[in-house]
Chains A and B, each alone.
Chain A
Amino acid sequence: MKLPSRTEFLDRSSYRQRRFRDAARWLPIFAGVLMLLPLMWPRETPDQSQTSNGIVYLFGLWVILVVLAFVLSRVLRLSESLDGNDAPNGWGGE
């Protein structure tokens, strides 16, 4: 059931909140792509595919993701009252 009307223009703080939510939705997609990235690494010579490089890359990525998730969890406000109709399946649009 779609809501009959949506707020078209939001004040700055609500606008910012919506973009944070978009970020929360994008983050796992971004993370997923980066997790698959090593599959495309060149592996012609032994020194191109060392496990130690993999460890550095994966754990580095992990730390970055944790930091981003941490930042998002601090700025995201959970109450939906802010802009009322957050679209659970879509991108909050204005």
Chain B
Amino acid sequence: MISFNLLIVVSLMYVVFLFLVAFAAERRAAQGKTSWVRSSVIYTLSLSIYCTAWTFYGAVGYAARSGLEFVTIYLGPTLVMIGWWWLVRKLVRIGRTQRLTSIADLISSRYGKSPVLGVMVTVLAIVGTTPYIALQLQSVTQSIAVFAASSDEMWLPGDLNRAAMWVAVGLAVFTVLFGTRNLDAHERHHGIVLAIAVEAVVKLCALLAVGIFVVWGIAGGVGATLELIDASAQSQWSPSPSRWIGLIFVSGAAFVCLPRMFQVLVVENSDEQSLSTASWAFPTYLMLMSLFVVPIAVVGLDLMPESANPDLFVVTVPISEGRQGLAILAFLGGFSSATSMVIVATLSLATMVSNHIIVPSWLNARTPGAVVSGDVRQVVIMSRRVSISVILALGYVYFRVSGGGTALASIGLVSFIGVVQVFPAMIGGVFWRGANRWGAGAGLIVGFSVWLWTNFLPSFGIDAVISQAVFLGGPFGIGWLRPEALFGISGTDPFVHALFWSIFLNTSAFIFVSILTFPNPLERLQGAQFVNVFDYSSGARTWLQSAAQAEDLLVMSQRILGGAEALSIFATEARSQGKTGFQPDVTPDFIGRLERELSGSVGAATAHAMIGQLTEGTIVSVDDLIAVADETAQIMEYSSRLEAKSAEANSTARALREANEKLTALSIQKDAFLSQISHELRTPMTSIRAFSDILRDEDVENVARKRFAGIIHEQSNRLTRLLDDLLDLGVLESGQVQLNIGQDILADVLDRAVIASGVNTGKLAIARRAGNETVNVHTDLDRLAQVFINLISNAAKYCANDVPKLRIIVRQFAGQTIIDFCDNGAGIPSESQSMIFEKFSRLEDEGKAGGAGLGLAICRQIMGALGGDITYLPGQGGAAFRVTLPAAQVLVLQ
């Protein structure tokens, strides 16, 4: 007889081992060593949570009752995996680009980040999964009871319940510990993934060991086993076509729709290479799991008493043969199947509940500023922990309420049909751009209702929820609404009936409503992103230039992603924008990227809502959408053209185009310049030519002749000055100016400039403060003087005051020397101040003064060459210019 205590000890050791495995995986991941957890093997093994206790124990029971039909449950997923190129590859790609956290997130995100759809899928998933969790608890307690009975321990129903409760508590602790340690931006859980991979190996080995023992140990070889099968009650195989097809469909669809499967298949997937491996490795796993199911069932039927529960043959057959070790291994296999399913299912449901129900409600209850001030991160983690506990409690309560009876046995398929109601919305969302949220919502509601009525509620049995009368006569006597004979079509297999009507009406509502209604712009954008996921390399731009401040966004991101990660995202963005620090420009691209990062932690709809609060609800309009689409089309057209050309030809073309643009710009500048030069040269030339004509052709009296000759002289001087200035400017602009650095006292330079400008003979009075001018300057003295001369002459020419006066003020400031030239004239009008330093920017009436408008342009070039500056000083009561000399060239006299 098997020692019951040994079983308990081994189980506890196994649990401790799993904790250690998960803990070690988390430790290694924290050190950045994640590559081995991300390997294809681990990925494939993690998919094995598809095989729950329902498989481990139930498949044998199923085979004992219905022969080969059980195999359909594994053929469906096999089809999906070997057909990965169609669907799973696309889901994985979408999951990665959109940072999806769950199946609810997929549906919500695809249909315009709709919060309502997220809630609907979440509710559907909870209703569909809770009985399934109860089933796992039941299978563990039943198998424990088997051992208890065989070791003559008397187990009362209360003990069973207590065992179930402790299993649930243990699973809650494990899931909380490894599922909510951190708020990972990718929603990946290395500890859990590795633990379930280990469990996958254990359950496969256990089932194979039992199978090998049964075939070679009891039946006596393959041939003998086949003969035994042919002699058994299940010797005849005549599958019902509708059940066969329906079961393959529902298991395949459930494989991608079950929240836990979506979690391991899409969310925890880190690369498509793993998927490629899993496409053959996972079908292999399923085949091996199924291989010995019929033999075990047949041998069990043959060996065990009539009353034995076929669901427990996997443990009862070894026990009855006295194989204690094998029985314990089988028990561990079943335990592994149950726990791994519960852990991942709970985790994925908790993520959905937290992201789609708790956090959005919490956000809604707050004022808009709360996103920044509240500790969102803590709220999210707490809400997940609470959700995990609540979901496991629900499973336990369901187990207690249902009484752990036979009602649970059929719950596997019921649960499958429930979650498969998401399938039309998922497939439509991924392959059909016309699908919209109204259609998805309608399909989900219709499918969910039909499933509840025809499958879920009847599964409790007649008179449990639905009375016998309703079964026979329909609700309120409406015959065509009978739960197992909708529209009066009776006699169908209940499973096929429920599956067909729920999926058919679901799909019809989905398609019909989608066609009749319009999607909003965000939906259209997301639709294009999902359906054409392989054409888009980056995510969509869904935000406009917004009112959000980088700082607010940073504060919010830190609350969710944690300080270091948020800062690094912001710093990276700032760097890519060519800025330093942590505050990038809040561009639509950046907001879109940030939203995807956040959605990895809290789901698409919530991330969208949170950013929406900060960006003051700026959402896309149809126009923006079209603009984005056009832009994308252009980029794609451009890139496809680029591919056609060789890289070299392309870069040449670009260089040519740039050169052409530069030349065009230069040509325009040159035209304007030549036009100006032409004007400046022709004006004095006109005077010269006109007066020389007069002098040549006419008799002119002496006074006039002298005057005309004077004009000719003056105008030719003007021409010479102009040419000098042009040459000077040419040299300065080309940057080839030779600086002749010298050292002198600023006062002396100013003295020379005043004398050279010739104003001391005129009426302009110059006021200076000799005391401030004892500054030693180290620069090109002649060039500096040239600037001064220009400014002084300008004052002399343009100062329109009866008593013109120029103040020259020298000041020291922050190491720089500042020389201000302020006159008491009319000054320069503010609209002209910005252009006086441009070439030929002569102001009105200046022609009289004979300048070509190059003086200040030259001054600016000179000051640039000297490392200083010249600017116009507004608001000084007249024209005022400030010359700044840099610190390096200034030495104050000691």
Chain A residues 43 to 63 lying within 8 A of chain B, measured CB to CB, are: 43, 46, 49-55, 58-59, 62-63
Residues 234-251 of B, flagged 1 when their CB comes within 8 A of A and 0 if not, give: 111111010011001000
List chain B residues, Cβ under 8 A from A36.
Answer: 244-245, 248
B82 touches A1 (CB 8 A): no
Closest residue of B by beta carbon distance from A29: B83
Instruction: Kindly state whether residue B640 has any CB partner on chain A within 8 Å.
Output: yes
B643 at the interface (CB under 8 A from A): yes
Within 8 A of A (CB), among B188-237: 226-227, 229-230, 232, 234-237
Taken together as a complex, chains A and B put the C-alpha atoms of A66 and B75 apart, in Å, by 12
**Per-residue 0/1 for B76-120: is the Cβ within 8 Å of any A Cβ (1 yes, 0 no)?**
001111111110001000000000000000000000000000000
CB-CB < 8 A to A43: which residues of B? 238
Q: Is B284 an interface residue (CB 8 A)?
A: yes
Asked whether, in the complex, the Cβ of B294 is within 8 Å of the Cβ of A51, the reply is yes
Contacts of B232 in A (CB 8 A): 51
Q: Is the CB of A88 within 8 A of B82?
A: no
Residue pair B535, A1 in contact (C-beta under 8 Å) = yes
Chain B residue at smallest Cβ distance from A69:
B280
From B259-267, B270-278, B320-328, B607-615, give the one contacting chain A. B270-278
Q: How far is the CB of A36 from chain B (nearest CB, A)?
A: 7
Q: Mark A55-86, 1 if CB is under 8 A from B, else 0.
A: 10011001101111110110010101000111
Q: Which of A9-65 contact B (CB under 8 A)?
A: 21, 24-25, 27-29, 31-32, 35-36, 38-39, 43, 46, 49-55, 58-59, 62-63, 65
Cα distance, A53 to B226, chains bound together (Å): 9
Q: Tell whether, in the assembled complex, residue B534 and residue A32 are in contact, meaning their CB atoms are under 8 Å apart.
A: no
Contact indicator B273/A52 (Cβ below 8 Å): no
Q: In the complex, which range does the number of interface residues on chain B fall in?
A: 35 or more
**Contact with B283, one of A55, A69, A89 (Cβ below 8 angstroms):** A69
CB-based contact A3/B640 at 8 Å: yes
User: Chain B residue with minimal CB distance to A56?
Assistant: B226
Chain A min CB distance to B308 (Å): 21
Q: Chain A residues near B236 (CB, 8 Å)?
A: 46, 49-51
Q: Which of A49, A66, A78 has the most CB of B within 10 A?
A: A66
| B279/A54 in contact, CB under 8 A | no
Q: Does B659 contact A (CB under 8 A)?
A: no
Residue B309 is within 8 A (CB to CB) of chain A in the complex:
no
Asked whether A31 lies within 8 Å of B532 as measured between CB atoms, the reply is: no
**Residues in A whose Cβ lies below 8 Å from that of B81:** 69
Closest beta carbon of chain A to B302's beta carbon, Å: 14
Q: What is the interface of chain B, defined by CB distance below 8 A to chain A? A: 67-68, 71, 75, 78-86, 90, 226-227, 229-230, 232, 234-239, 241, 244-245, 248, 272-273, 276-277, 279-280, 283-284, 287, 290-291, 294, 431, 528, 531-535, 629, 632-633, 636-637, 640-641, 643-644
For B227, the closest partner residue in chain A by CB is A52
CB pair A49–B535 under 8 Å, yes or no, is no
Known interface pairs A39-B241, A49-B236; A88-B79 also in contact (CB < 8 Å):
no
B636: contacting residue among A1, A24, A25, CB under 8 A = A1
Judge whether B632 and A51 touch: CB under 8 Å: no
Q: Is the interface of B mostly helix, strand, loop or mixed?
A: helix
Q: Is the interface of A mostly helix, strand, loop or mixed?
A: helix
Contact A84–B643 (Cβ < 8 Å):
yes
For the complex formed, measure the closest distance between the CB of A41 and the CB atoms of chain B, giving whole angstroms: 9
Q: For A3, give its contact among B80, B84, B234, B535 (CB under 8 Å).
A: B535
- In the complex with contacts A78-B273, A84-B640, A65-B78 CB distance below 8 A: yes
In angstroms, Cα B236 to Cα A43, docked, is 9
**Contacts A46-B236, A69-B283 known; A35 to B230 CB distance under 8 Å?**
no
Selected from A46, A50, A73, the residue in CB contact (under 8 A) with B277 is A73
26 example contacts (A-B, Cβ-Cβ < 8 A) are as follows A1-B633, A4-B640, A5-B637, A5-B644, A28-B82, A28-B83, A31-B78, A31-B79, A46-B236, A49-B237, A49-B238, A51-B232, A51-B236, A52-B235, A55-B68, A55-B226, A62-B78, A65-B78, A66-B284, A69-B283, A73-B277, A73-B279, A78-B273, A78-B276, A84-B643, A88-B532
In contact, B272 and A66 (Cβ under 8 angstroms): no
User: Which chain B positions have C-beta within 8 A of A53?
Assistant: 237
Q: Which B residues touch A86, using CB under 8 A?
A: 534
Q: How far is the CA of A24 from the CA of B535 in the complex (A)?
A: 19
Whether the pair B82, A69 counts as a contact (CB closer than 8 A) is: yes
Within 8 Å CB of B90, what residues of A?
A: 88
Report the bound CA distance from A35 to B287 in whole Å.
Answer: 14
- Measured CB to CB, the closest approach of chain B to A65, in angstroms, equals 6
Q: Are A52 and B82 neighbours in the complex by a CB distance under 8 Å?
A: no
- A54 to B276, Cβ gap below 8 A? no
A46 CB, min distance to chain B CBs, angstroms: 6
Give B691 Cβ to nearest chain A Cβ, in Å: 69
Given A5-B640, A52-B227, A69-B81, 20 further pairs, Cβ under 8 A = A1-B535, A1-B636, A4-B637, A4-B640, A24-B84, A31-B78, A36-B244, A36-B245, A39-B241, A51-B229, A51-B234, A55-B229, A58-B71, A58-B75, A65-B283, A73-B276, A73-B277, A84-B643, A85-B640, A88-B532
